[in-house]
Amino acid sequence: MDAIIRVAVTGASGRMGQEVVKMVLADPALKLVAAIDRSNQGVDIGRIVGAQECGVIISDDLEGTLRDSQAEVMVDFTTPHSVLSNTETAIRNRVRPVVGTTGFKPEDIERLDKLCHEHETGGIIAPNFSVGAILMMKFAAQAAKYMPHVEIIEYHGDQKLDAPSGTSVQTAEMIAANRKEFRQGNPEEKETIDGARGGLYSGFRIHSVRLPGVFAQQEVIFGGYGQTLKIRHDSYERAGYMPGVNIAVKRVMDVNGIVYGFEQFLD
């Protein structure tokens, strides 16, 4: 039998973090050894259901806790402001990061990859851990070969910090890899209200909708002669990401450097 993997969770009292704690506690192949969070009021232990009774270290001191708990993997669902330094701390302490927090720039990922190689370890960064969302991205990348006129509309709750979403950026990167770069639309086009046409990525547009009541959805719309094709994914609850996170926690043990995107583990 494989050894049990010792897991620390950062952002443990956040909405995704709480799901990760539940998932780790429910899997006998994993051991929750630390729950780390940060809050103006201190760690909200009441929200880290089940961890306290299992003798888990609950703290807001990342580096000390990673060391004391002898964590092997750190799962991070925090904020775009914190994730970079959390991930660097994990790598420097040779704890393998599995990161779901969004908001990375390509140069951040390059830097973390280099740091992993320096410390002879590996990590996974995935803007989306749900299988349906990965398929949406793959199908969109395939369609872009045949229908290169495309726009992305992503919908999230109004409290989301980053725009566009990490999923839409990853979708755009996958589309751009399959589509010869060109600037879509009328070259004379003028916005009478700033931002009306959305953000420009590699010649096509990404639109971010932010509304209360919305969870996470994305549509990729292709236009051709006399036709449109829409590829749409809807997420309804956070638990839907956990099978993917569980696989990543196990697969990260064999990874060197940073693997970007959960799709690498699907086939």
Going by DSSP bridges, is the β-strand pair 57-59/30-36 parallel, antiparallel, or unpaired?
parallel
Out of 129, 155, 204, 222, the only residue in the binding site for ligand NAP (CB under 6 A) is 129
Out of 121, 128, 171, 218, the only residue in the binding site for ligand NAP (CB under 6 A) is 128
Task: Kindly write out the interface string for residues 237-256 of this chain, putting x where it contacts ligand NAP by CB under 6 A and - elsewhere.
Answer: ----x---------------
CA nearest to 151, candidates 196, 105, 214: 196
Which of residues 62 and 141 has its CB atom nearest to ligand NAP in the complex?
62
The yes-or-no answer on residue 160 being catalytic is: yes
Q: Does 15 engage in binding with ligand NAP (CB under 6 A)? A: yes
How far is the C-alpha of 262 from the C-alpha of 127, rounded, in Å? 8
How far is the C-alpha of 217 from the C-alpha of 196, rounded, in Å? 20
Q: Does 16 engage in binding with ligand NAP (CB under 6 A)? A: yes
Q: Does 155 engage in binding with ligand NAP (CB under 6 A)? A: no
Computed on alpha carbons and rounded to an integer, the radius of gyration of the chain in Å comes to 20
| 254 C-beta neighbours (distance < 10 Å), count | 8
Q: Does 95 engage in binding with ligand NAP (CB under 6 A)? A: no
Amino acid making up residue 156: H
Are the CB atoms for 7 and 29 separated by under 8 Å? no
Which of residues 78 and 246 has its CB atom nearest to ligand NAP in the complex?
78
Going by DSSP bridges, is the β-strand pair 204-210/199-201 parallel, antiparallel, or unpaired?
antiparallel
How far is the C-alpha of 66 from the C-alpha of 7, rounded, in Å? 9
Which of residues 37 and 219 has its CB atom nearest to ligand NAP in the complex?
37
Q: Does 13 engage in binding with ligand NAP (CB under 6 A)? A: yes
Which residue out of 117, 138, 149, 160 is catalytically annotated? 160
Give, in degrees to the nearest 5, the angle at Cα 136 between 133 and 137: 90
Which of residues 13 and 121 has its CB atom nearest to ligand NAP in the complex?
13
The yes-or-no answer on residue 207 being catalytic is: no
Q: Does 104 engage in binding with ligand NAP (CB under 6 A)? A: no
Amino acid making up residue 239: A
Which of residues 198 and 240 has its CB atom nearest to ligand NAP in the complex?
240
Show which residues are catalytic: 156, 160
Can you give the binding site for ligand NAP, defined by CB under 6 A?
10-11, 13-17, 36-39, 62, 77-80, 82, 86, 100-102, 126-129, 241
